[in-house]
């Protein structure tokens, strides 16, 4: 079954125009006249029913950006093409950062729109396959604590996580959106005594306020209108295992009180039940908000905060882990290739440099999306700088880049000239994710790694440029666990 395209636009003429193009290409069309209705439509749709969304950015009431944010919170991953007016490219860039698949500038030609829609559908199918591969039974590729990232910043996180895994302590995983908080939570569970036991996820940001209690603690049949069956609730589903409270900062105040009680007493009180029930869960919470700040603002209960946050594990943003980008990009190219009939088998060196120079506000998830998108659209068998024009033009916005032309697919927009300069300028962050100075040892390690990359693994050149003797370099490499016997080494060699 092929699905429909959802068109969200407040302008009836625009809706009609887009609908005409979409139906002419043989797709079904659904329309919504504002963001709220569009979201409802997405939430009510069955998997695959809506294949892509064409979203207007400038709408009263709820803007396209707000729709994208709400989709993110609700975990809706349907690919979105945003429509923007000439002169509002900044908003289009924000939309891409929020994970939009593509953007078109109004008035958009039918061919450009058709191309964007078909590519979005292909991308959606690809991302969907990659996801089911990851989460489907048996096929799950677990990322263990040993594989979550080789950068020094991530190694610190892994070390902390290893200690936490051995205990039953409540953990709070903190990090920006898309850094891999859920991946880490699963890895911690897999490394601990509850490995084979249930792992139950609650997305605290996505449950309607009036259902929080029933979803967390369950209800008896007939407890309220619509409660036609007894429902166990997430706590009891997780009994003996791990309960993952995702986006815990979003929990409404009333639910916070009840959650606190359940944790303190070690028992839950299902809606409409006569007795409380003992429950044994290990809690892992995650937040992309500054929970301490929310607490200070009175939005998060202090007592609950200290219950959940017995051990805080920060996950650094991708821009503080640039040494992982090459490996991650390779993983995502492989995922794309194995999930779809795609000829792409790798990335060029310059493309990798470009990716390393970008700041990745959407972190690993954004990197994954960017790679999938490039893989869907690429012509050659290797992804080149030109396949990442969006990223290149964002880096290029240090100086305003040419606005994309409506008639040219955005993936063939020329790369601004200054980008090649920007990507050649290597810089190491001096501060870590907490804003503290990083250690000399770490900076040294990353400097050496960068020099090896820059000089293609030619170690005598590396030593000369860094002003150290070859034997000192070899000793340092040995300490870093890099085998330098061949005289040429490279991180990318595997
Ligand atoms: N170390 C890793 N190796 C490969 N893929 C990873 C890694 N870490 C994260 N990912 C991928 O990146 C994406 C985002 O990861 P995850 O969902 O864990 O992030 P998150 O921090 O929970 O994001 P959000 O804040 O949006 O909920 C997922 O598709 C995940 O598979
Ligand atoms: Mg998450």
Give residue 99's pLDDT. 84
Mean pLDDT of 93-104: 85
- Is 52 in contact with 8 (CB distance < 8 Å)? no
**pLDDT surpassing 60 at residue 486:** no
Domain coordinates in residue numbering, the chain: 4-135, 152-315, 320-402, 440-479
pLDDT at 237 over 50: yes
Nearest CA to ligand 1 atom 28: 365
Q: How far is the CA of 246 from the centre of ligand 2 (A)?
A: 6
What CATH superfamily classification does 152-315 receive?
P-loop containing nucleotide triphosphate hydrolases (3.40.50.300)
Using the predicted structure, report yes or no on whether residue 494 has a pLDDT greater than 60.
no
Evaluate if residue 162 carries a pLDDT over 90. yes
pLDDT at 426: 57
E strand or H helix that includes residue 56: strand 50-56
**Which band of pLDDT confidence, cut at 50, 70 and 90, is reported for residue 434?**
low
| Mean pLDDT of the 203-220 span | 87
Q: Which of 160-169, 210-219, 347-356, 440-449 has the lowest mean pLDDT?
A: 440-449
The answer on pLDDT for 432 being more than 90 is no
Ligand 1 neighbourhood includes 183 CB (under 6 angstroms): yes
Selected residue with higher pLDDT from 29 and 439: 29
Rounded average pLDDT over 405-420: 40
Task: Kindly give the distance from the C-alpha atom of residue 182 to the centroid of ligand 1, in angstroms, as a whole number.
Answer: 6
Residue from 75, 127, 183 whose mutation best tests the ligand 1 pocket (most atoms within 8 A of CB): 183
Task: Give residue 427's pLDDT band: very low, low, confident or very high (50, 70, 90).
Answer: low
Whole-number pLDDT of residue 417: 42
Given the CA of residue 324, which atom of ligand 1 is nearest to it?
Answer: 1
Residue 440's SS3 state is helix
- What pLDDT, on the 0 to 100 scale, is given for residue 131? 67
Beta bridge partners of 32: 8
Predicted TM-score (pTM) of the model is: 0.73
Q: What was the pLDDT predicted at 187?
A: 96
Could you tell me if the CB of 177 is within 6 A of ligand 1?
yes
Banded pLDDT at 419 (limits 50, 70, 90):
very low
Atom from ligand 1 closest to the CA of residue 367: 12
Which bound ligand lies closest to the C-alpha atom of 331? 1
Can you tell me which atom of ligand 1 is nearest the CA of 183? 18
Residue 223 in this model has a pLDDT that exceeds 70: yes
Q: Is the pLDDT of residue 308 over 90?
A: yes
Q: Separation of 240 CA from ligand 2 center, angstroms?
A: 22
Ligand 1 atom 9, closest CA: 180
Between residues 453 and 383, the one the model is more confident about: 383
Q: Residue 311 Cα, ligand 2 centroid: separation in angstroms?
A: 18
Q: Taking residues 153-179, report their average pLDDT.
A: 95
Q: Where are the alpha helices (DSSP H) in 5-100?
A: 12-24, 35-44, 64-74, 89-97
Measured CA to CA in angstroms, residue 104 lies from 66, 101, 450 at distances of: 18, 10, 37
**Other Cβ atoms closer than 10 A to 488:** 14
Q: Is the CB of 249 under 6 A from ligand 1?
A: no
Q: How far away, in angstroms, is 339 Cα from ligand 1 center?
A: 18
Nearest ligand (C-alpha, residue 176): 1
For residues 72-82, average pLDDT: 90
Query: Facing residues of 400 across strands?
Result: none
Residue 331 CB less than 6 A away from ligand 1: yes
Looking at residues 407-416, what average pLDDT do you find? 39
pLDDT for 27 equals 93
Each residue's pLDDT tens digit, 334-389 = 988 887 777 899 999 999 999 999 999 889 989 998 999 898 888 889 999 999 98
Same fold for the domain at 320-402 and the one at 440-479?
A: no
If one looks up domain 440-479 in CATH, what number appears? 1.10.10.60
Asked if the peptide bond before residue 217 counts as cis, ω within 30 degrees of 0, the response is no
Least confident of 113-117, 127-131, 201-205, 295-299: 127-131
Please tell me the predicted confidence (pLDDT) of residue 279: 95
Q: Is ligand 1 within 6 A of the CB of residue 316? A: no
Q: Is residue 144's pLDDT more than 90?
A: yes
pLDDT for residue 316 is more than 80:
yes
Q: What's the gap in Å between 16 CA and the centre of ligand 2?
A: 36
269 Cα to the center of ligand 2, angstroms: 27
Going by pLDDT thresholds of 50, 70 and 90, the confidence category of residue 403 is very low
Rounded to whole angstroms, the Cα distance separating 58 from 56 reads 6
Cα–Cα distance measured from residue 106 to residue 120, given in angstroms and rounded to the nearest whole number = 18
Residue 268: per-residue pLDDT:
93
More confident residue, 455 or 144: 144
Which pLDDT score is estimated for 485? 55
pLDDT of residue 137: 38
The SS3 of residue 456 is coil
Task: Select from 77, 178, 313 the residue to mutate for testing ligand 1; criterion: most ligand atoms less than 8 Å from CB.
Answer: 178
- Please work out whether the CB of residue 99 comes within 6 Å of at least one atom of ligand 1: no
Q: Which has the higher per-residue pLDDT, 414 or 189?
A: 189
> Please, which pLDDT band fits residue 63 given cuts at 50, 70 and 90?
very high
Q: Which of 173-187, 449-463, 464-478 has the lowest mean pLDDT?
A: 449-463
The model's confidence at residue 410, banded by pLDDT at 50, 70 and 90, is: very low
Pocket of ligand 1 contains residue 181 by CB under 6 Å: yes
d(CA 344, CA 336): 8
Q: At the topology level of CATH, where does 4-135 sit?
A: Rossmann fold (3.40.50)
Q: Is it the case that residue 142 has pLDDT exceeding 70?
A: yes
pLDDT in tens, 14-53: 999 999 999 998 999 999 999 999 999 999 998 889 999 9
- State the distance from the centre of ligand 1 to the C-alpha of 177, rounded, in angstroms: 9
Is the C-beta atom of 151 inside 6 A of ligand 1?
no
Let me know: does 170 contact 291? Beta carbons within 8 Å: no
Q: Is the CB of 149 under 6 A from ligand 1?
A: yes
CATH topology of domain 320-402: Helicase, Ruva Protein; domain 3 (1.10.8)
CA–CA gap between residue 342 and residue 376 (Å, rounded): 7
Query: What mean pLDDT is predicted for residues 463-481?
Result: 82
CA distance 11 to 50: 21
pLDDT > 70 fraction of the chain, expressed in percent and rounded: 87
What per-residue confidence (pLDDT) applies to 412?
37
pLDDT mean over 399-408: 40
């Amino acid at each position: 079954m092929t699905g429909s395209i959802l068109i969200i636009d407040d302008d009836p003429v625009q809706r009609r125009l887009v609908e005409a193009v979409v139906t002419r290409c043989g797709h079904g069309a659904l329309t919504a006249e504002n963001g709220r209705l569009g979201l409802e439509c997405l939430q009510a749709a069955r998997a695959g029913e809506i294949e892509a969304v064409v979203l207007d950015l400038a709408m009263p009431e709820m803007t396209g950006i707000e729709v994208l944010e709400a989709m993110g919170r609700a975990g809706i991953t349907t690919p979105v093409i945003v429509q923007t007016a000439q002169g509002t490219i900044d908003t289009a860039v924000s939309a891409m950062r929020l994970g939009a698949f593509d953007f078109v500038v109004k008035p958009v030609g039918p061919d450009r729109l058709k191309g964007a829609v078909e590519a979005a559908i292909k991308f959606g199918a690809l991302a969907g396959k990659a996801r089911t591969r990851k989460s489907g039974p048996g096929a799950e590729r677990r990322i263990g604590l040993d594989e979550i990232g080789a950068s020094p910043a991530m190694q610190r996180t892994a070390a902390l996580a290893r200690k936490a895994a051995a205990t039953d302590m409540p953990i709070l995983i903190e990090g920006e959106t898309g850094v891999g908080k859920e991946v880490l939570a699963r890895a911690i569970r897999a490394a601990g005594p509850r490995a084979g036991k249930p792992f139950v996820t609650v997305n605290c940001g996505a449950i309607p306020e009036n259902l929080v209690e029933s979803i967390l603690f369950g209800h008896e049949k007939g407890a309220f209108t619509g409660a036609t069956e007894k429902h166990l609730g997430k706590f009891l589903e997780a009994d003996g295992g791990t309960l993952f409270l995702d986006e815990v900062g979003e929990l409404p105040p009333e639910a916070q009180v009840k959650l606190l009680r359940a944790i303190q007493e070690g028992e839950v009180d299902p809606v409409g039940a006569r007795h409380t029930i003992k429950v044994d869960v290990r809690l892992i919470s995650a937040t992309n908000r500054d929970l301490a700040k929310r607490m200070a603002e009175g939005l998060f209960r202090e007592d609950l905060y200290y219950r959940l946050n017995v051990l805080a594990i920060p996950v650094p943003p991708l821009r503080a882990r640039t040494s992982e980008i090459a490996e991650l990009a390779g993983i995502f190219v492989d995922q794309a290739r194995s999930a779809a009939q795609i000829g792409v088998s790798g990335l060029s060196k310059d493309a990798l440099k470009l990716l390393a120079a970008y700041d990745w506000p959407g972190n690993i998830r954004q990197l994954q999306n960017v790679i999938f998108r490039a893989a869907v659209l690429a012509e050659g068998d290797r992804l080149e700088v030109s396949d990442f024009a969006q990223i290149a033009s964002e880096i290029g916005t240090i100086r305003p880049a040419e606005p994309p032309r409506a008639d040219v697919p955005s993936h063939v927009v020329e790369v601004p000239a200054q980008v090649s300069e920007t990507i050649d300028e290597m810089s190491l962050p001096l501060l870590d994710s907490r804003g503290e100075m990083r250690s000399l040892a770490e900076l040294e390690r990353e400097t050496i790694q960068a020099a090896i990359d820059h000089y293609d693994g030619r170690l005598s050149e590396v030593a000369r440029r860094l002003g150290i003797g070859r034997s000192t370099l070899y000793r340092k490499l040995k300490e870093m666990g890099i085998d330098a016997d061949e005289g040429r080494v490279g991180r990318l060699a595997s």
